[in-house]
């Protein structure tokens, strides 16, 4: 692994097309790589290590990684019980630049959706920056391809001017979402 900016944040190696990738629950030693991938994302909110620790402690099964021969090449972090027992929240998704456009993001979201369904959830909430049309198109395609609905719920608000307002979306789950 390559160290990122002289810290303990690691960047994954290049993922060859067609390489076998396993989606699994994140473990503690994955977090330096998760942080390294998040640092490379243009529109991603930069969470502190404490935020990832908190998410992992709240719902350890809701942080998934794409593992390519022992290297983390993408992740999704979420919370299975959000605003009541029927909703999950997809907090963050990011794919290493070397592994983009390989289907890893879709695979991670579908695994998160399958776990949400298995826990009795009827929908997944997520937020997308208004500047990030690529993510919006990505989630629209997942909903369309799985014959489900992605619907707008408005915006997040700004938390008294401390937060950049994001668009709030909901994916309606049913058995057609698979992993």
Confidence of residue 178 (pLDDT cuts 50, 70, 90): low
- The pLDDT tens digits of the residues spanning 82-115 come to 988 899 999 999 999 989 889 999 999 999 999 9
DSSP collapsed to 3 states, the chain: CEEECCCCEEECCCCCCCCCCEEEECCHHHHHHHHHHHHCCCCCCCCCHHHHHHHHHHCHHHEEEEEECCEEEEEEEEECCCCCCCEEEEEEEEECHHHCCCCHHHHHHHHHHHHHHHCCCCEEEEEECCCCHHHHHHHHHHHHHCCCCEEEEEECCCCCCCCCCCEEEEEECCCCCCC
Please indicate whether residue 44 or residue 138 has the higher confidence score (pLDDT). Answer: 138
The verdict on residue 179 lying in a domain is no
Confidence of residue 14 (pLDDT cuts 50, 70, 90): very low
The verdict on residue 177 lying in a domain is no
The reported pTM is 0.84
CATH number of the domain that 6 lies in? 3.40.630.30
Domain count for the chain, please give it: 1
Which structural domain range is residue 19 located in?
A: 2-172
The verdict on residue 104 lying in a domain is yes
The verdict on residue 110 lying in a domain is yes
């Amino acid at each position: 692994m390559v160290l990122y900016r002289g810290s303990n944040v690691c960047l994954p190696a290049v993922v060859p097309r067609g390489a076998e990738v396993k989606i699994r629950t994140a473990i503690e030693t994955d977090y330096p790589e998760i942080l390294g991938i998040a640092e490379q994302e243009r529109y991603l909110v930069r969470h502190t290590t404490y935020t990832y620790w908190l998410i992992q402690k709240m719902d350890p099964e809701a942080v998934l990684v794409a593992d390519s021969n022992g290297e983390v090449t993408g992740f999704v972090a979420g919370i299975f019980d959000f605003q009541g027992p029927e909703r999950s929240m997809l907090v963050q998704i990011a794919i290493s630049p070397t592994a983009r456009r390989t289907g890893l993001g879709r695979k991670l979201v579908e695994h998160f959706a399958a776990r949400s369904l298995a826990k009795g959830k009827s929908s997944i909430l997520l937020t997308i920056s208004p500047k990030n049309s690529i993510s919006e198109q990505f989630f629209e395609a997942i909903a369309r391809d799985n014959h489900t609905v992605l619907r707008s719920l408005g915006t997040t608000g700004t938390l008294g001017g401390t937060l950049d307002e994001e668009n709030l979306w909901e994916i309606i789950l049913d058995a057609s979402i698979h992993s």
